[in-house]
Structure 1
Amino acid sequence: MSDVVDYIVVGAGPGGCATAVRLAQARPDRTVALLETGPARTSILSDVPLGIAALVAFRGRHNYAYQTVPQPELGGRRGFQPRGRGLGGSSLINAMIYVRGQPEDYDGWAEAGCTGWSWAEVLPYFKRAEDNARGGDALHGAGGALRVEDLREDNPATDAFVEAAMQCGYPHNPDFNGAVQEGVGRYQVFQKNGSRFNAARAYLGKGYPNLMVIADAPCAGVLFEETRATGVRYHREGAEHRLIARHEVVLAAGAFGTPQLLMASGIGPAAHLRDHGIPVVYDAPEVGANLQDHIDYTIGMRTGADGLFGLSAATVLQGAGALGPWRKRGRGMLTTNVAEAGGFVKSDPLLDRPDLQLHFCLGIVDDHNRKMHLGRGYSLHVCALRPHSRGEVRLASADTRVAPLIDPRFLSDPRDMETLVKGAKLAQRIVAAPALAALKGRPLYGTGRDEEAALRALIRDHADTIYHPVGTCRMGDDPASVVDPRLRVRGVIGLRVADASIMPSLISGNTQAPTAMIGERAADLILGVNGGAGERLAA
């Protein structure tokens, strides 16, 4: 393949992998190039599900480990924003949780003018992408690219959490992607035979002769002839290269990377671009705006109960002994995604649907595991599912290799604090329920029975992202939106976006599955196929 192809996809996360492979599979007569900043190979820490404990916390080959600008409502702290780097994107370092969100999320998109994005219209794409070990049915797919399995080992601490939540009156839910999302239970995960099944393994594993994958190649920007996108510039091996697209360029670099690329290419707020010496191709004030993320508060508990992990000699010895069973049979403690269970609950029983999500983790997770504590324990996370606060992404430099300025403006809308306080109270009740109280945990911060004023202070001191940034290239039918409902970037020709940045509002849950759905749908929109009618993409 040459430096001229039919389609260029920038970013090899779930959205980019899905878009590129669907295009390559559907049009074998056309060539596709998939460009990725990070490396082609994963590390064993990524393949081992328990490796998330180390991958999320530190900057490295597979983690950008961004920081936010200081957050006034979090006491001036800088938030931490780990994002995956390499073939697979953030699916290389996340907790592998398979959640789609609520039907009302997508119906809300459609009602806001995003024609074609209602729940009934996106469900076929979720099903087409899915290979659920439980089999297919009206709501699930089997035989698709994304392998979804139940966790392979039972854990007594996970059992205790589910029982404690049920003791508080929350119903058991064996399938958060079933007919009802509300309730508590174990998560299904993106795994195959006990190993992480990242998006690159899912989509790129078969290989296609008309698909060229270029790793270790940071994109410098989109090339234009007047307002038509004609290709991209990228860095590789110390030199700048150009790649030309006969048909379209698709950006799938994520909620931070995609607006950064658009602005570096001349599409964004004109005054901001001029400040960085970037010629304006199209003045698009909303590029980088509308940033939304799930703000999360965590209760950490110290306890040496069975099934838990921590900074201890016992955990190290257990982990070393578990390497053999994991390699040979895909079994043992290394198969855990740490956040094994959780739930979707209401902060107020009068609400029509859940507005809080729980994640129960088999270890003390303090400041994204960057603050380590001796001994074992567990954590119960609670996040506000539909935040009202809106932030932005802006350039720190015209060079895309320099991290962008990320400002989520967490809790800038006071309604988010009120929801999170209710969630923290709810989480305290679950921790105090008999099943978890039997683990005899001691709180890392606070008393475990904190009143509202103390909870507000604890939230300001410790709350941060649960890693679901979206919305910075908002989709809509209004002229101010960044992309239209066919994902075409407004003001230019031949350029689309296919990642979580297009979400007009944040979905109620984890974002890997919805981002892959967006990539699946993007390919059909490019090809002029509607309704998920294209052939299923096999793993």
Structure 2
Amino acid sequence: MEFDYVIVGGGSAGATLAARLSEDPGLSVCLIEAGGRGDGILVRIPAGAVAMLPGYGKINNWAFHTVPQPGLNGRRGYQPRGRALGGSSAINAMLYVRGQRQDYDGWADLGCEGWDWDSVLPWFRRAEGHEDGADAFHGGDGPLQVSHQKAPRPITRAFIAAGQELQLREREDFNTGDNEGIGLFQVTQFHDPARNGERCSAAAAYLHPVMGQRANLTVLTGARAQRILLEGRRATGVEIRRGRRVQQIRARREVILACGAFGSPQLLQLSGIGRPEDITPHGIEMRHELSGVGRNLQDHLDFILAWKTRDTDNFGIGLRGTGQLLRHLARWRRDGRSMAATPFAEGAAFFRSTPQVDRPDLQLHLVIAMVDDHARRLHLGHGYSCHVCVLRPHSRGQVSLASGDPLADPLIDPAYLSDRRDLDLLIAGARQARRLMLGAPLAPYRDRELHGMHDDMTDAEWERHIRARADTIYHPVGTCRMGVDEGAVVDPQLRVHGLQGLRVVDASVMPTLISGNTNAPTIMIAERAAAMILAAARGEDECAGHQAARAS
């Protein structure tokens, strides 16, 4: 089979790209996805995330693990990633966060021309169909439906009040380029009457409506890419395994990797692209040396404070909690509301560790459940938890091959807390988070604090708790970073340095981690990349795409 464009990975970026590129009927597009369609009930119902996230049975989930982490007492971290059309947007908490203006201006300062805040804002707006309609920061008719939460719990309002007592300003919108404050997350959730309250994954937004409707779009699910086909310095296709059959999918124009921060560098290395020391020991022929492939891994390390509560207006484990959930599911089927529509992480706070830093460097998630080890360790009864993470970590890890077997999981080494500054900042953030959670507005909900936390803990005690329990909050980026220096993997047009017909379009191209959740920026990157690719196909410069985005 031969197409103009072959996209590997049907996640947030891949689904967006496939839909946008196939809008041109003169171009043929093939999307290759290892998982399924991503349209089952566990995906559609927001509360279904709790069944997919832990990784039991690997339902729509790669359920990766890291190598042992010295900074976490030698523990292997857990790395859930979406395995279905929609990718991680099919299993995440649906949180719509763009990050800080300075994040993107920083990308431009690193040589990524055209990726500053003012340049990327039109692409955020183009993607978005906001519940409130269009304004200076939001789009009103884009494919990705963005909503206010359907039924936030009273405890989340108390969390906001507790933050206000500590002089955090309440924010109605965390997506204007300035996140500082406390409030409710906005979510990628349908607000139109036909699907009100359902998850709006990238596949549900972009891809499912056009699959089977466009003759120029082919979507292959259950297909595992094994290597990129190269003729000299040009990518000409992809070898895939589908069931027992191995076949080649040819690309007349470009191969586009959208496999995420773990999958894209792995596929490059399996194809002989990267550092010789990462490739030749596995019996793979070197095809193109590129020192940055798999390097620069960054992630948000998450530390959790948790409490039991006698309040039952949140998620709980046991007979009462199960009966309550069934009632909420029934209501959700009627009107798209109720606790079944929750993102779990309802409350958000972005704050500065000290007045001297120029923007928030810490983030909180208030979760209306006792989350322990990614919901893999359950506690009877009802509870709630507060998650704290360092927004712009200094630690850098890497992704490499475990073997030459294309079906093997990659070796993931985030190198958590390898830079002492991250630990010191996380301790400071955890102290501030606990102070907020012990505020008077939350007093009616507190029953018993978990994990042996107590007042007047020393830094050494905080360090022991963090090293014993901290883990990812699911935002890996940077392993095929964009730039113009020797260590960059792709240029600002996302073309792989030194090769033709090959791009990477996903979170792996981010030079630095943004100050927040990463799904919305990944979709923005794909929107912008699609315009670049279409402009190149038409022999235009990118200005035409920019004008179209601003006009929309």
Paired residues for 1:107-506 under 5 Å: 107-178=105-176, 180-192=178-190, 193-207=196-210, 208-449=214-455, 450-506=457-513
Q: In 2 relative to 1, CA 500–205 (structure 1 residues): closer, same or farther, beyond 3 Å?
A: same
Alpha-carbon distance in structure 2 between the residues aligned to 1:441 and 1:488:
54
Cα distance, 1:508 vs structure 2:
0.5
d(CA) in 2 for partners of 1:411 and 1:114? 27
2:515 is aligned to: 508
When residues 164 and 320 of structure 1 are mapped into structure 2, their CA distance, relative to the original with a 3 A threshold, is same
**1:279-312 CA distance string (max 9 Å, x none):** 1110112100000000111101111214221212
| Structure 2, unaligned runs of 5 or more | 191-195, 536-541
SS of residue matched to 1:517: helix
In structure 2, C-alpha distance between the alignment counterparts of 1:221 and 1:281, rounded to whole Å? 12
3-state SS of paired residue (2:78): strand
CA distance in 1, matches of 2:493, 2:174: 29
Decide whether the 8 Å contact of 1:292 with 1:506 is kept in 2: yes
Q: Distance in 2 between matches of 1:459 and 1:320?
A: 35
Give ranges in structure 1 of 5+ residues lacking alignment. none
Query: 2:171 is matched by which residue type in structure 1?
Result: N
* CA–CA separation in structure 2 for the residues paired with 1:267 and 1:11: 18
Q: Write out per-residue CA displacement over residues 303-333 of structure 1, whole angstroms, 9 at most, x where no aligned residue.
A: 1214221212111001112222211211211
The CA distance in 1 between the partners of 2:177 and 2:203, in whole Å, is 29
SS at match of 2:333: helix
Q: Compute the displacement of 1:95 (Å).
A: 0.4
CA pair 241-317 structure 1, distance change in 2 beyond 3 A: same
Query: How far apart, in 2, do the equivalents of 1:63 and 1:42 lie?
Result: 14
Instruction: Decide which moves more: 434-443 or 399-408.
Output: 434-443
Q: State the secondary structure of the residue aligned to 1:369.
A: coil
Distance 1:271 1:73 in 2: 25
C-alpha distance in 1 between matches for 2:68 and 2:483: 30
CA positional deviation for 1:535 = 6.3
Q: 1:66 aligns with which of 53, 57, 64?
A: 64
**Corresponding pairs, count:** 535
Q: 2: distance between equivalents of 1:492 and 1:444?
A: 53
- Alignment partners' CA distance in 2, 1:31 and 1:418: 51
**For the Cα contact (< 8 Å) 1:476–1:483, is it kept in 2?**
yes
Residue 532 of structure 1 corresponds to 546
User: Is residue 481–residue 508 contact of structure 2 (8 Å, CA) maintained in 1?
Assistant: yes
3-state SS of the aligned residue for 1:150? coil
Tell which deviates more after alignment, 45-54 or 526-535. 526-535
* Whole-angstrom CA distance in 2 between matches of 1:183 and 1:489: 38
**Cα distance, 1:154 vs structure 2:** 3.4
Aligned to 1:43: 40
Distance 2:525 2:257 in 1: 12
Contact 2:101 2:178 in 1 (8 A): no
| Percent identity of paired positions between Structure 1 and Structure 2 | 49
Shift of 1:51: 1.5
Deviations 1:383-436 (A, max 9, x none): 000000000000012222210000000000000001100100001101110011
In structure 1, what is the equivalent of residue 193 of structure 2? none
Which amino acid is the alignment partner of residue 128 of structure 2?
Answer: E
CA deviation digits over 1:352-382, x for unaligned, max 9? 1100011000000011111111111000001
Find the aligned partners of 1:150 and 1:132 in 2 and give their Cα distance: 9
Residue identity opposite 2:152 in structure 1: D
